[in-house]
Amino acid sequence: MNFKYTVLLLLSIACTTVHGQTFSMNERCLHAYQSFMAMKVNQGRNLLLQELKSNPQNVLPLVLINYEDFISLVFNENPEEYKKRLPLKEKRLALLENADKNSPYYLFSKALLYFQWSMIQIKYTDYWNAAWDFRKAFLLFKENKNKFPDFSYNNIFLGSQETVISTIPKGYKWISTIMGLKGDMQSGLLLLKSSISMKDQPFKEEAFLYLVYLKNYIENDVEGANQLVKNYQLDVKNNQLFCFMSANLALNNKQAAITESILLNRNKSAEYIPFPMLEYELGDAKLRRLAPDAAGHFQYFISNSKSNFYIKDACMSLAYCYYLQGDMKLANEYKEKIKYIGKTESDADKQAQRFAETGSFPDKDLLRARLMNDGGYNDKALKILQSKTINSFKKDNEKLEYIYRFGRIYDELNQDEKALKYYDQTIQMGRYSTEYFASRAALQAGQICEQNGRRKDALDYYYKVLEMDDHEFKNSLDQRAKSGINRLKEH
């Protein structure tokens, strides 16, 4: 049964039972939710149809079917599908007006729809409507929590929103100012932590998803995020969303070998929705150990993804693959291709576009060291760098990266004093550069000092991040620096 027919059937059933609708999170609805969160959308949709046919007064399936849009549009972007599905938001909100307003699920369901569509709209660069829907969700979750303080599901989403609001970077601060949003990072994280400790709780999959990401990127607790995955034995083989989360977390924390293992051992059954992003992640993991077959995964992603995100970055990765293999014809073809496919909404795609328009291929040894360092193969990366000197490079940006890369490698090897020495040199050399190296060096130095209890030094480094302008990844680095400042001020 196709998506369009299912939606029409769901809406028609709902419209014939507009009076006396109630909310029932029964076993079938719970199973449907879990199916959506595992990315088995056909299974989830069929369960909701069964529920509406057997229990037409239950309005919850009209809320849970929104998870199909949320999962499909956020994790498997398709601009054409977004245009088709966007009107469903208002239809579902209108149908909720006929439901039991005395139920704690009433305001919660409205807030959940606004929350999910705010994230969907961000993916499709409709930032204005995303911001207003985010605000509506926040206020409704707060209102529902005041009315029903024991309704614990509020805490999952309210905790996530509070944490994010507390770290809005300078470039987007106008959003929270105009909308009057205030959030406290620690109280937000506590709400999320309390949610995963409860047994047999619906929406628990999301509590894990949000807490793992926020713990890693906002709280800067990499080990804590990894322990959540291990301690709760999250099923990274059969739950495709947990698979992606865990693989992505490992890759971003320079554990490319773990990413490869997770993705190669995942369940590849046809019952999951197609998810080309997993092939992109696998290609990225393989590229970081300089594996020649990484190219095939990037090519699959470009050919099968309907998304405008990471397409340029995938082309840049392919250009690097062929450049390192000595095939300059293909390397230049993919470099040129960057200019006219995809969009520049993500930082990675912006970097790829700059490479295509203004950059030349980097020194091969420096590129190899960068990739291997990014994959966690630090001993090999260090040997490559030690075979060179700063005078081996003619370009200022390559000299800057050479120094910065020593800092990152020694940082990964837990040689803090050596790392700080190279980070300080990077900041001094690159403070006014349009490259991100100096800002990232300041962020990393701040984290080292924070972990070692050097609070004042850590704050000084974090503020240096905020002071540096006109460089790549400005907003994302600022957000992480502000998170560090918030952590230190709250203790």
Summarised one tens digit per residue, pLDDT across range 284-333 is 999 999 999 999 999 999 999 988 889 999 999 999 999 999 999 999 99
Name the DSSP letter for residue 363: P
pTM: 0.85
For residues 228 and 208, the answer to whether their CB atoms sit within 8 Å is yes
Number of continuous H segments (helices) and E segments (strands) in the chain = 28, 0
> Is 189 a domain residue?
no
**Res 3 pLDDT > 80:** no
Domain end: 151, 172, 187, which one? 151
> Is 491 a domain residue?
yes
Name the DSSP letter for residue 76: S
Residue 45 burial by Cβ neighbours in a 10 Å radius (0-12, 13-18, 19+): buried
Name the DSSP letter for residue 339: G
- For the ranges 54-58, 276-280, 443-447, 456-460, which has the lowest average pLDDT? 54-58
> Is 206 a domain residue?
no
> Is 131 a domain residue?
yes
- Residue 21, strand partner residues: 99
For residues 187 and 486, the answer to whether their CB atoms sit within 8 Å is no
> Distance between CA atoms of 85 and 81, rounded to whole angstroms?
6
> Is 67 a domain residue?
yes
CB atoms within 10 A of CB 63: 25
Q: What angle do CA 243, 75, 45 make, to 5 degrees?
A: 90
4: confidence class by pLDDT, cuts 50, 70, 90: low
DSSP assignments along 429-466, one per residue: HHTT-SSSHHHHHHHHHHHHHHHTT-HHHHHHHHHHHH
Q: How far, in Å, are 118, 171, 180, 219 from residue 165 at the CA level?
A: 14, 13, 11, 14
Residue 429: closest CA among 393, 401, 469: 401
> Distance between CA atoms of 88 and 96, rounded to whole angstroms?
12
Helix 311-324, helix 328-337: angle, nearest 10: 170
CB atoms within 10 A of CB 169: 17
Q: What angle do CA 444, 445, 446 make, to 5 degrees?
A: 90
Residue with tokens 């999962």: 71
> Is 125 a domain residue?
yes
> Is 355 a domain residue?
no
> Distance between CA atoms of 168 and 182, rounded to whole angstroms?
10
Residue 209: closest CA among 187, 182, 236: 236
Summarised one tens digit per residue, pLDDT across range 224-271 is 888 888 888 889 999 999 999 999 999 999 999 999 999 999 999 999
For residues 440 and 422, the answer to whether their CB atoms sit within 8 Å is no
**Res 429 pLDDT > 90:** yes
CB atoms within 10 A of CB 109: 24
Domain end: 119, 151, 183, which one? 151
Residue 406: closest CA among 392, 386, 387: 386
261: tokens are 């293992």
Owning domain of residue 410: 365-491
Residue 242: closest CA among 29, 37, 34, 30: 37
> Is 436 a domain residue?
yes
Q: What is the mean pLDDT of residues 336-365?
A: 92
Domain end: 91, 122, 151, which one? 151
Residues above pLDDT 70, as percent of the chain: 92
- The total of structural domains in the chain comes to 2
Q: What is the mean pLDDT of residues 158-177?
A: 73
Domain with residue 429: its CATH number is: 1.25.40.10
Residue 148 makes CB contacts below 8 A (sequence gap 6+) with: 104, 154
Residue 113: closest CA among 179, 44, 160, 66: 66
